[in-house]
Amino acid sequence: MRSSFHLILTSILVLTSFSLFSQENEPKASDTIAKIQELQQGAYQSILIQELDNVVPKLLEAKNLANAIEDARQKSIVSTTLAYFYYSIYSYNLASTECSKAIGYIKDEPNSKELGIAYSLYGLISLKTNNKENAERYLENADRIFQTLNDEVELAKVTYKKGLFALENNNVQVALNYFAASLSVFESENIPFYEATANRFLAKCLIIIPTENEEEKERNINRAKNSIERAFELSRNNRYLKIEADCYKTASDIAFLQNNTEEAYTSLRIHIDKKDELEEIHAAVLSKNLDFESNNEELIAKIALQQSDLEEQQKSITMNRFTTGLSVALIIILSLLTLSLFKNNNLRAKANNLLQDKNDELLIAKERAEKASIAKAQFLSTITHELRTPMYAVTGLTHLLLEEKPREDQIEHLNSLKFSGEYLLSLINNILDLNKLEANKVELEKKSFSLKKRVEDVLIALKKSALDKNNKLMLEYDEGIPPKLIGDPVVLSQVLINLVGNSVKFTENGKITLVVKKLSQTDRSVLLHFEIQDNGVGITLKKQKAIFESFTQGSVQINRKFGGTGLGLSIVRNLLHLMDSKVHLESEIGKGSKFWFDIKLNISDEKPDSLVSNSQLSLKDLGALENLNVLVVEDNKINQMITKKILEKNKIICAVADNGEDAVKMVKENHYDLILMDIHMPGISGIEATQQIKEFKKDIPVIALTAVTIDENLDDFYKAGFNEIIPKPFKTEEFFEKIYRTLQSQKV
C-alpha cells in the first residue's frame, strides 16, 4: 500500500516538473508589471524635477507592455502619469484626453485606488479648463474612494486640491484650512513635493486673507514668510523647479506688503525669468514627444498584424497545457485530501491543548493588567500631589512679586511665569481628573446655578486664547431656558471649557460658536442641546475614531504645532457619561468641526435674585477680613511663608503651626477666628487634628488647604469637621472669596 502511494507521488512530481519546465521560458506577468511600475515611477520623478526628455518614451514603453498583458490597472496608472505630464507642461486638453482614458480602463472597479487617483487629477485638470462643476464632482468622487479605503495620504492630496478649488473661488479662509490640514499629513509622511507646494499656497492665502487690524495683518505676514521659506528650502533641496519659480512670485508679494520694493522687484524678476525658461523647455519637449508618440503608434499597428498569427498558435498550445495541468491538479488534490484526513485528529488534539495554555496565559495577563492599572493610578495620584507642592510656591511667589510693584521690564517676565505656572497646574489637574474618572471617584453635585452665567464665564475665560489666534467667540443662547437649574455647574463648566478650548486651539482667523438651546421642558426638568462649532482645520475620519481616547491627538505633528496632552476630550467623554450623556462629533478636513451633546437638568424653584452672588469679593467684603486672627497649619516652610505673606498683605493676623499636634495645642491656648489646615503632615494628619479641635471648639471654622489626591473623598473632609476645601495651588481671588463665604456661613 505504502509503495503504491510512493509511486503515485513520484508520478505527480514528474508531471509537475514537466509542466513547469515547459513554461519556464515564458515571460512572467509579474515581471512585466514590475517593469511597467519601474518605468512609470521613473517618469513620474522626472516630471517632478522637470527633466522631461525621456518621460514620454518611458511611458509609451510602459503602455505597450500593459497592452501586451491586457492589465487594466497598469494601463490606467500609465495613462494617469502621462496625463500628469501634460498637465505639468500646461497642455490641459491633452491631459484631459489621457485622464479620460485612465478612468475608462478601470471604471468597473469603483473603489480602486487607481480610479481615485485618476478622479483626483481629472478634478485638477477640470479646474484649469474652467469647468468648476466637473472639478468639484471629481474631487468629491476621489475623496469618497479614499475615505472608503482609509488612505490618509491620498486623502490629504485631495484635501490640498480642494484648497486650490476654494482659492480659485475666492474662499480664502476655507482654502487656508484645507492647506493647513493637508500640510500636517505631508509633513508626517515625508512627502516633500506636496509639502513644498502646500506651504507655498498657505503663504499665498495668509497674505490675501482679510484682516481687522494691522497687528493681525503683521502676524499673518510673518507666518507667510515662514511658510514660503520652508517651500523654498524643500524645492531647492529636491530640485522642484516649477515650485521654486512660483515661490519667487509669492515672496515678491510678501516683500511688497512689507514695503520692501527692491526685494519685491528682484523676486518678481527671478520668477519671470524662471517661468520663461520652463515654458521654452515645455514647448520643445511637447513638440519632440508628440512626433515620437505618432511614430510609435504606426509601429504598434505593424506589430499588431504580426501578433494576430502568433495568438492563434498560442491558443492551441495553451489548451493542451491547460488539460495537462488540470489532470495533475486533480491527482494532487486527491492525494492531499487523503493526507489531510490522516493528520486532522492529531492537529485537533494539539489545538485543544494549545487553547487551554492560551486561556491560562490570558488569565495571568488580565491579572497583571489590572495590577498595572492600579499601580498607574496610584503613581499618577502621588506624582500630581507632589507636583502641587512646588507649584504652590511658583504661583504664590509670582502673585506676591506682581503685587509688590515690579519694574516695567520685570512685569513681562512675571506674567510669563504666571502663565507657565497656570498651564502646568492645568496639566496636573487634567491628569488628576482623568485618574478620578477612571477610578470612579467623581461624584456629581446637585446645586442651584445660573446656566447663562456659567456659559458666559467659560467664554470670558477663553477670550484671550481666542484673540491670540485671531478668532471670534460667539454665543447663541436660548432665552427660553429657565434662569436657575439644578446640577453640577463645575463639571458642566469643565466640559464646555475643554470643548470650546479645543476648537480655539485648532482654529486660526476663524469663528467658534457655542449654541445652547432648549429641546423640551416639563414641570420639573428641561432637556438642553449644547453645540460647539468652528471653521478650523478639521479632523480626518480615521482620527475621529480615536480622538476621545486618553493621551490621543491627531498626530505627533499636531501635538508639536498646537500643543496639549490629548486629555481634554477624554475627560469630556467621561464627565458626560457621568451625566448620562454622550459627546458627538462631525468634522470635515479644511471646513471645521462640530461637537454636540444633550443633557437633562432639573429646574430650580429658587428665584434668580435669591441666590448669593458668585462674583468676586468687593473691596468692602475684603475689608471685612482685616484683623482676622488666622492659624495656618503647614509643615512645608516655603508654603508657610507664602500663605502667611498673602494673608498679612491683606491685614490679616497670622500664626503658624508646623504640625497637627502643635495646632491642637495652640488652639487650646489661643483664640483664632479661622484655621487653614494642611492634610498630609508628619505625626497626626490634618483630618485627625481637626477632629480633636472640634471636640473642644465646635464652632471654629476650619478650611482644608491641601493638594487633593485621587484617594481622598471630599465627603470625608466635611464629615471630619472641615467647613470648606481650597485645593493647592489656588488663585488668590478664590482663596479670599472662600474664606469670606465660610465666615459668613458660620455667622448664619
For 561-581, write each residue's pLDDT tens digit: 444 445 667 778 878 888 889
How many angstroms separate the CA atoms of 58 and 745, rounded? Answer: 87
pTM confidence score? 0.57
pLDDT of residue 290: 53
Helix axes 152-168, 192-208, angle to 10 degrees: 30
Indicate which CATH number applies to the domain containing 243.
Answer: 1.25.40.10
Residues 122 and 98 in one domain: yes
For residues 118 and 196, membership in a common domain is answered with no
The phi-psi region of residue 564 (left if phi > 0; otherwise alpha if psi is between -120 and 50; otherwise beta) is left
| Segments in the chain below pLDDT 70 | 1-28, 286-325, 327-328, 331, 335, 338, 341-342, 345-346, 370, 372-389, 392-393, 416, 418-443, 542, 544-568, 607-623, 707-715, 747-748
CA 584, CA 571: separation in Å to the nearest integer? 14
pLDDT at 10: 47
Q: What is residue 656's predicted lDDT score, i.e. its pLDDT?
A: 93
Distance CA 179, CA 198 (A): 6
Q: Are residues 602 and 673 in the same domain?
A: no
The answer on 673 and 544 residing in a single domain is no
Q: Which of 472, 60, 452 is nearest to 294 (CA)?
A: 60
Q: How many structural domains is the chain composed of?
A: 4
Q: Which of 276, 292, 316 is the last residue in one of the domains?
A: 276
Looking at the fold, whether 637 and 710 belong to one and the same domain comes out as: yes
CB atoms within 10 A of CB 366: 10
Q: Please identify, among 150, 173, 201, the residue that sits at the C-terminal boundary of a domain.
A: 150
Contact 555, 188 (CB under 8 A): yes
741 and 632 co-located in one domain: yes
Residue 457: inside a domain: yes
My answer on whether 191 and 138 are in the same domain is no
pLDDT at 610: 41
Q: Are residues 73 and 106 in the same domain?
A: yes
Rounded CA-CA distance 668/657 in Å is: 13
| One domain, residues 12 and 145 | yes
Q: Are 732 and 631 found together in one domain?
A: yes
Q: Does 309 map to a domain?
A: no
Range of the domain at 728: 619-747
| DSSP 3-state of 706 | strand
243 with 131, same domain: the answer is no
